[in-house]
Amino acid sequence: MDGVDYRFRHPSYRIGGFALMSQTQEAVRQAGTFGSLPVLKNEREWGFADFTWVNIGLAIATWAFLVGGATALFVGFGQGIAAMIIGNVAGVIIMLLATTVISSRYGVEQYTILRSIFGFGGVALIFFTVITFTEVGWSALLGAMFGRATAQVSNVVFGTAIDPNSILVTVFALICIAVAWALVAKGPVSIKAFNRIVAPGLALVIVGLIIYLFTQTTWTDLMAAAPLAPFDDPALNFAIAVEFNLGVAFSWWPIMGSLGRLTKSPQASLWPAFIGLAIVTIIAQLVGMASALTLGDWDPTVWLMTAGGAVFGVIALLFIAFANITSLASIVYSNTLALRQASGKLFATTRWEVLAAIFLVPAAIVSFFPGLLYDQFLLFVTFSGAFLSAVCGTVIADYFVLRKQRINLGALYAPGSKSRYHFHGGFNLAAMISSLAGVGTYLWLYNPMTLETDALFNWTTASVPAVAVSFVLHLLLTPLLNSAKSGRGGYELPTELESAKK
Amino acid sequence: MNGQQQEAALSQELKRRIDVIQSDEAGDESHRALTSTELWTAWIIVFVTLAIGLVVSL
């Protein structure tokens, strides 16, 4: 990032009576871009338009087509439209209120912000369980999709016969991961530059697919098309389709706060992300669903070759493969930041490139089983959603209601027990219990592993009650476990601006 | 490179940045916070969408 405070380049700038050495200057610059330092207003990279393009680039990656195709497994086109709108609009807004808005206000990435809600230990626990599972899964999935798309192109152009689960798909996936790593090593500017090319290109692919679909089928046929593999109960199918799309919306949570810190205002973080992740996603998913219903296969790397012939298919797949790299780079950037914050002193001095590589190792290992995440896509997305929706409910209750959008920045960075965000030995029990209660509510209403559901699930879904339970319980438990008298969490001082406790 | 010097520089820089952001926050509260109108707009969109979902599922 070039937007470093100009004072660091001015020769008169001094620390401790000594001129800053170039290496020290570089260390401070790196800490702003790749580390934990808050980003100042004049260093923010993304205004409304830039962040809109970033989110459009994220939204119309292959996963949107994949989600659209997976939705078609359960419902037809009419109910699919409703499920996508409900799941994405409601889920994305809740998710954004728990991520970008907070990070943008303070210029701090979300895993540092979360110390004020879960405590230092709580953040580490969440990151190394829920977030690692979710993000490694998505990274591996993107790599596998890149691999399958590239294999399909090779099969058409060079007449090869690469199987979707062959070792060559793994090799392509590893190439995708390596290129994404190289992009991330250069920082957020390179991701922005890539997105400015990829996002408009993918928009053209979507327009091309829409034209193709309406020349091949009619609106009446599309509305009458049967879902690909539904359950017997239509109400359950619709509820699962909504829940699946809610899960997709919540699955943005781990990366959005880290991107939001680079936006120029909360307004420039909330609405562009909503436009990209909800509105544009819905359009891309609808195209994916319509294609799957028309062509009878839910995997976009298969139906894209059928749609429009070899030339269009090859171009579309190449663009989508390219887009997967930018999506993966965004995931890796955010999670590398998170890894540094959540790991305490373990990776505090590790070089940024090395840290990014460490994050990618598990994804590279999963890439050796390219069919794994494809086959368990519904389970993966909804299981992630169980945890992320509950965390969102807790975060929103804490930040908007209890803290009234005010956080003590000094306390976020104060070491261990010297911080008022240390809570009980590094864990905010109120937040942990309320989040776990939210997860429990989710699993009681809908168990993704067994597919067992409670009767209420058909009307309420599982994510929405999970958000509500964790939200309400956190409001109730906080005064009990972190009373004003105890001073834990600094809840008694919602409007103070003083530095952290010394 | 002197590790202590680098650590001191980072610590100093962190403190400076916190001061800048909190001064900004104190000087113009509405500048950085989401306004209640925006917040309510967001929640209304959520609730209306969920209500539509309930109607569709009925």
Q: pLDDT tens digits, residue range A291-318?
A: 889 888 877 777 777 766 778 778 888 8
How many beta carbons lie within 10 A of that of residue A424, not counting itself? 17
Task: Please tell me the distance from the alpha carbon of residue A246 to that of residue A90, in angstroms, as a whole number.
Answer: 8
Handedness of CA B38, B43, B45, B46 (dihedral sign): positive
pLDDT of residue A62 exceeding 80, the answer is no
**Mean pLDDT over each residue of chain B, to the nearest integer:** 81
Name the band, by pLDDT with cuts 50, 70 and 90, for residue A27.
low
Q: What gap in Å lies between CA B24 and CA A111, rounded to an integer?
A: 22
Which chain B residues touch A41 with a CB distance below 8 Å?
24
Distance from CA of A304 to the nearest CA of B (A): 31
Chain B contact set for A238 (CB, 8 A): 56-57
pLDDT at A471 over 70: yes
Alpha carbon distance A263, A275 (integer Å): 15
Query: Looking at chain A from residue 67 to 106, which residues have their Cβ under 8 Å from any Cβ of chain B?
Result: 79, 82, 85-86, 89-90, 93-94, 96-97, 101, 104-106
Closest CB to B33 among A37, A105, A410: A105
Residue A30: the pLDDT is: 59
Interface of A with B in 384-413 (CB under 8 A): 400, 405-406, 409-410, 413
pLDDT at A493: 58
Q: Which of A91-95, A371-375, A451-455 has the lowest mean pLDDT?
A: A371-375
Spell out the alpha helix ranges (H) of A127-218.
132-157, 167-186, 188-216
Residues from chain A contacting residue B11 (CB–CB below 8 Å) = none
Phi, psi at A347, each rounded to 5°: -115, 20
In chain A, pLDDT over 70 holds for what percent of residues?
89
A24 lies within 8 A of chain B by CB: yes
What's the token pair of residue A190?
């390179």
Report the share of chain A in percent with pLDDT over 90: 42
**What pLDDT is stored for residue A467 in this prediction?**
98
* Nearest CB partner across the interface for B33, out of A85, A107, A405: A405
CB contact under 8 A, B26 and A37: no
Kindly report the CA angle at A341 between A340 and A346, in degrees rounded to 5?
A: 55
Across the interface, of A23, A41, A464, the residue whose CB is closest to B1 is: A23
Read off the pLDDT of each residue in B25-29 and give the average, rounded to a whole number.
62
Of A122-131, A191-200, A448-457, least confident by mean pLDDT is A191-200
Q: Choose between A417 and A96: higher pLDDT.
A: A96
pLDDT given at position A19: 37
Q: Contact, A275 vs B43, CB < 8 A?
A: no
User: Is residue A500 predicted with pLDDT exceeding 50?
Assistant: no
- The arithmetic mean of pLDDT across residues A385-394, rounded, is 97
Of the pLDDT bands very low, low, confident and very high (cuts 50, 70, 90), residue A188 is low
What residues contact A61, with CB distance under 8 A and at least 6 apart? Answer: A142, A202, A320, A323, A324, A326, A327
The average pLDDT across A261-271 equals 86
B40-51 per-position pLDDT tens digit: 999 999 999 999
- Scanning A28-47 for CB atoms below 8 A from B yields 28, 31, 37-38, 40-41
Query: Is residue A18 within a helix (H) or strand (E), and if so which, with residue range?
Result: strand A18-19
Which H helix or E strand runs over B6?
A: helix B3-27
B5: chain A residues, CB-CB within 8 Å: 15-16, 18, 21, 24
**Is A238 within 8 Å of B31 when comparing Cβ atoms?**
no
The residue-averaged pLDDT of B14-24 equals: 86
Cα dihedral angle (A493, A494, A496, A500), rounded to 10 degrees? 70
Interface check A458 vs B, CB under 8 A:
yes
Chain B interface, mutation test: which of A409, A412, A496, A501, most B Cβ atoms within 10 Å?
A409
Yes or no, beta carbons of B6 and A400 under 8 Å apart: no
The whole-number pLDDT of residue B23 equals 80
User: Beta partners for A18?
Assistant: A15
Residues from chain B contacting residue A82 (CB–CB below 8 Å): 52-53, 56
- Amino acid sitting at position A148: R
The residues in A 229-258 lying below 8 A from B, measured between CB atoms, are 235, 238-239, 242
Could you give the dihedral angle defined by the CA atoms of residues A33, A36, A40 and A44, in that order, rounded to the nearest 10 degrees? 40
Name the one residue in this structure whose structure tokens are 């400076």. Answer: B16
Contact B33 A21 (CB under 8 A): no
**Does residue A39 contact residue A119 with C-beta atoms inside 8 Å?**
no
Using 50, 70 and 90 to split pLDDT, how confident is the model at B2? low
Calculate mean pLDDT across residues A16-28: 48
Q: Which two tokens stand for residue A81?
A: 């439209």
Question: In this structure, are residues A198 and A56 in contact, taking their beta carbons and an 8 Å threshold?
Answer: no
Q: Which residue has the higher pLDDT, A351 or A438?
A: A438
* Lowest-confidence pick of A197-206, A357-366, A408-417, A479-488: A197-206
Q: Which two tokens stand for residue A158?
A: 């060079």
Cα–Cα distance measured from residue B53 to residue B56, given in angstroms and rounded to the nearest whole number:
5
Q: How far apart are the first and last CA of chain A?
A: 32
The residue-averaged pLDDT of A86-96 equals: 96
**Type of residue found at A67:** V
Predicted confidence at residue A418, as pLDDT, reads: 84
pLDDT at residue A54, as a whole number: 81
Q: Give the pLDDT band (50/70/90) at residue A14.
A: very low
> Can you give the pTM of this predicted structure?
0.86
According to DSSP, residue A142 is labeled H
Confidence of residue A35 (pLDDT cuts 50, 70, 90): low
- Judge whether residue A427 has pLDDT over 80: yes
Question: pLDDT at position A401, please?
Answer: 95
Q: What is the pLDDT of residue A470?
A: 98
What is the structure's pLDDT at B26? 66
Lowest mean pLDDT across A262-271, A361-370, A470-479, B18-27: B18-27
The answer to whether the Cβ–Cβ distance between B49 and A90 falls below 8 Å is: yes
Cβ pair A66, A224 in contact under 8 A: no
Nearest to residue A76, comparing CAs of A289, A287, A382?
Answer: A289
Nearest to A267 among B15, B22, B38 (CB): B38
Q: DSSP for B27-56?
A: H-HHHHSPPHHHHHHHHHHHHHHHHHHHHH
Output the average pLDDT for chain A: 84
Q: What is the CA radius of gyration of chain B?
A: 22
pLDDT of residue A87: 96
* φ, ψ for residue A15, nearest 5 deg: -130, 125
> A397 to chain B: which residues are within 8 Å by CB?
none
pLDDT at residue A499 is higher than 80: no
- Residues A481 and A425: beta-carbon distance below 8 Å: no
Q: How confident is the model at residue A393 (pLDDT cuts 50, 70, 90)?
A: very high
Q: Which of A83-92, A181-190, A460-469, A489-498 has the lowest mean pLDDT?
A: A489-498
B1 vs A263: which has the higher pLDDT: A263
Residue A19 contacts B where some CB pair is shorter than 8 Å = no
Closest A-chain CA to B27: A497
Which tens digits make up the pLDDT trace of A219-243? 899 999 999 989 999 999 999 999 9
Nearest to B5 among A24, A266, A400 (CB): A24
Q: Which of the four pLDDT bands, split at 50, 70 and 90, describes residue A494?
A: very low
